[in-house]
Amino acid sequence: MQTFSCRCGNPLFFENTHCLACESDVGWCPTCSNIVALEPLDNGGYRCTHEGCGTALMQCHNYWRKTCVTAWWSWLKVMQTHSATAAATTM
């Protein structure tokens, strides 16, 4: 099983939704393909904390509806994708 590391150094696994050591929210970053600790942003989104990435992320609609089988799949989407979709639907 592939493991990842939190910014605090604690191991993170694919099924984690938060770090058991520092209690940071954790999610999948599709940009760097890592399970990462998430840094909260003022706009309600998150920033990937993986070294060299920093992608702005947000929880997807399925996370709130709890309709996905695995939390990691529904946890995050890139904010730019969300913004592009929102712009397309309001035109």
**How many residues would you count in the chain?**
91
- Answer yes or no: is 88 within a domain: no
User: What global pTM score does this model have?
Assistant: 0.66
- Number of Cβ within 10 Å of residue 39's Cβ equals 16
Higher pLDDT among residues 21 and 70, named by residue: 21
pLDDT confidence bin for 2, thresholds 50/70/90: confident
Domain containing residue 29: 3-83
Q: Is residue 77 in some structural domain? A: yes
Q: What's the confidence (pLDDT) of residue 91?
A: 44
Q: What is the pLDDT of residue 62?
A: 61
- pLDDT tens by residue, 39-69: 999 988 899 999 999 999 887 766 656 554 4
CA atoms within 13 A on the CB side of 65: 7
pLDDT for the residue numbered 87: 44
- Domain membership of residue 20 (yes or no) is yes
